[in-house]
Structure 1
């Protein structure tokens, strides 16, 4: 049941709405009948194809299916008051115009993209003024989250970034001065080709999970906690020196079965809590007494 509000004691309006089974909608004009653009009370919206991308048949990968999905999503443009948007199992290869820029979603705080497997380009959302929480899963062919832009700060309000199973992702974006001024936590899992992370001066917590290589970690002046887990085939990696991570207090290295050497931890003089677990081949200087 959608959550609702009442006005004038009589009329009831939904503030939370989930539309499932959108693969059965065959035309954009049919989807347009939902008239979401005029529903100014709507705050939370979930749009879902095929149960969120689970058990999708091969026939759904053809061009006709992609075209219809793109028309349907274009026709489901919400009102500018929308605060939370979730899109699951989307079958199109491109996102609609209303997701390209800041004018259509100025109030959006939370965005979740899950199982949009056919998409090759990330939507242009870096300038959304209110976006605080961004979670993305299973966009296999996207190589970067945003292209380089000049003169406008990227992700001005973003606080939390979660990325899972982005197998083609090579970098998030190239950060310039003024970008991501509020970003405090980044969690990245199963993005094996990720090569580098952007410089985010406000970042306090970084979690890296399951990759082929440890991405380059830049200078992160506010980073307090760093967790590295599940890099099973990696035999060695280097950590930045204290000058790049001057506030680092907590370092965890877990479940890296082939890891035998780590360069840099002895130079991280600010670390107060070091945990090493599930790394049978790893020996760190003066780490045995701290091993858990």
Structure 2
């Protein structure tokens, strides 16, 4: 039984750990049960906060006095602004999650970001009416920012995404009405200088994007259904040169990228990117170690055709490959591949010659066949792969 379901739990005033509390409407389960628990530490998730009547009732929880709490999660459905105003946490807070908020602007204590000197992670999730974002750049220690399912946000500018000097991980998802991302540069033209990972998903309306070299430390980029953002990628020269991992899904805009732009790339993940073209193909990327590509037959066919021309050299740097294009035609040589995953080949069968193809996988440790519905037997030559440790179908 969850402790929050125990009536009158507020009598345990010396309680130090309470990971979850579900606010109720009856005596013994009201939010004021938390009032005297000043020793709570670690993490607490307070759910069902939409049942709290007003700011005064919310203030009875005395969240602002709980200086030992490091992580606070505030969850509900269409939570009113006055209720969230009354749940202001202590300034010692390190991580905050707001989920299910129901107003156009966040509470005023979010505008006083400078008092939260220790806050390093902030997640604003599933707030359907929220249209104005707070000045995230005023949180001095913020390292992780997640904005997810905010369908009413249309504009984000330098006020919201101003200089975020400490931010390392930035995720934006399902801001479906987001149109423009404008910015005002600081003296050095760097707004997010420490961001190493940026994710942008399901933002189909995005038309205006900033010049992204302001993410001067970016090493991982993960994008899908991102409006015109993908069209701007070729312009981001210095940013792309530092990328080590690129993930793209459902990006149909015509985009042409080259080895020169992605010279540090080590990992490539693609899903249904029909408009993407790689100048000189995958073989031209000198540091590429992992390739996971589905729904992009042109890119993979070119890769396989060119790799078969490498004779005994093959693709010496590649260690992991997933594909939905048959590898068994031609003489594709993959001597360094340690993990191979063959997916979605409905008509996959093996001739004697094709069974022999597997013998050249001299480094293979993991081999998978998934969603290959016609596969009735595995190649007999697999028994000769002495390095193989994992075989899955």
TM-score (norm 2): 0.59
If you compute each CA radius of gyration, which structure gives the higher value, 1 or 2? Answer: 2
- Is contact 1:260–1:283 with CA below 8 Å preserved after alignment? no
Inter-partner Cα distance in structure 2 for 1:122 and 1:86: 15
SS at match of 1:216: helix
SS at match of 2:56: helix
Shift of 1:116: 0.8
SS at match of 2:164: coil
**Quick one: higher RCO (CA 8 Å, sep 6+), 1 or 2?**
1
Any residues of structure 2 matched to 1:70-219 within 5 Å, and which? 70-147=81-158, 154-174=163-183, 176=185, 177-195=189-207, 196=209, 198-199=212-213, 200-213=215-228, 214-217=230-233, 218-219=236-237
Aligned to 1:33: 60
- Is contact 2:38–2:66 with CA below 8 Å preserved after alignment? no
Aligned to 2:16: 4
Q: 1:126 to 1:235 in 2, by over 3 A?
A: closer
Q: List per-residue Cα deviations over 1:213-244 (Å, max 9, x = no partner).
A: 5252223052211111133xx162233672x5
Inter-partner Cα distance in structure 2 for 1:280 and 1:187: 21
Aligned to 2:295: 279
Q: 1:236 to 1:22 in 2, by over 3 A?
A: same
Q: Higher helix proportion, which one?
A: 2
Shift of 1:194: 2.9
- Is contact 2:246–2:267 with CA below 8 Å preserved after alignment? yes
Shift of 1:276: 6.1
- Is contact 1:225–1:249 with CA below 8 Å preserved after alignment? yes
Structure 1 unaligned runs (5+)?
Answer: 6-10, 51-59, 61-65
Aligned to 1:56: none
2:39 paired residue among 13, 25, 32: 13
Structure 2 unaligned runs (5+)?
Answer: 5-14, 18-36, 308-314, 316-320, 324-393
1:253 paired residue among 270, 285, 299: 270
Q: List per-residue Cα deviations over 1:154-198 (Å, max 9, x = no partner).
A: 111111112221112235553733422221111222111234363
Shift of 1:29: 1.3
- Is contact 1:184–1:202 with CA below 8 Å preserved after alignment? yes
Q: 1:170 to 1:249 in 2, by over 3 A?
A: farther
Shift of 1:36: 1.5
Aligned to 2:256: 238
SS at match of 2:221: strand
Shift of 1:246: 4.5
Q: List per-residue Cα deviations over 1:101-143 (Å, max 9, x = no partner).
A: 4323221111111101110011211221111111121001213
Shift of 1:270: 4.7
SS at match of 2:137: coil
SS at match of 2:64: helix
Inter-partner Cα distance in structure 2 for 1:251 and 1:84: 31
SS at match of 1:167: coil
